[in-house]
Amino acid sequence: MKATLIKASLTAALSIGLITSAFAADVTGTWIRANGSAKIKITKCGSNLCGNIVWLKKPRKDTKNPDPALRNRSLIGSKTILGMKPAGKNSWKGKLYNAEDGKTYSGKMNLVSANKLKLEGCVLIFCKGDTWSRTK
């Protein structure tokens, strides 16, 4: 009886731990850039993560896009996080599109806390990042 109670308690404790860590790793939702210029909604796209711009403080066109046919489109709705794959606990790697220069970079995301997400875009060994906050 005592062994069964201990086993049940351990199972419950482990289950709660797994649920908590699974919740902490949920990066889906809407995030705002540190400078407040844009909101990006991160969703699952297959087994990866993708993100689309859903709001801009100053709406504009994708004028720096390398594809001339896309330069007249609104940035709202465009993808900025492209196929991020799991790369460890609370970490993903993939591609990031930077509409400010029209280039796509190797990128990584790290969930710092439930409400903070650090993104970095890299060229060779040089990386530049931004920390986003979860928003509604």
pLDDT at 36: 96
Structure tokens at 121: 């875009």
Note the pTM of the prediction, 2 decimals: 0.79
d(CA 11, CA 76): 46
Average per-residue pLDDT for the chain: 85
What does the alpha-carbon distance between residue 130 and residue 86 come to, in Å, rounded to a whole number?
19
| Regions of the chain short of the pLDDT cut 50 | 2-24
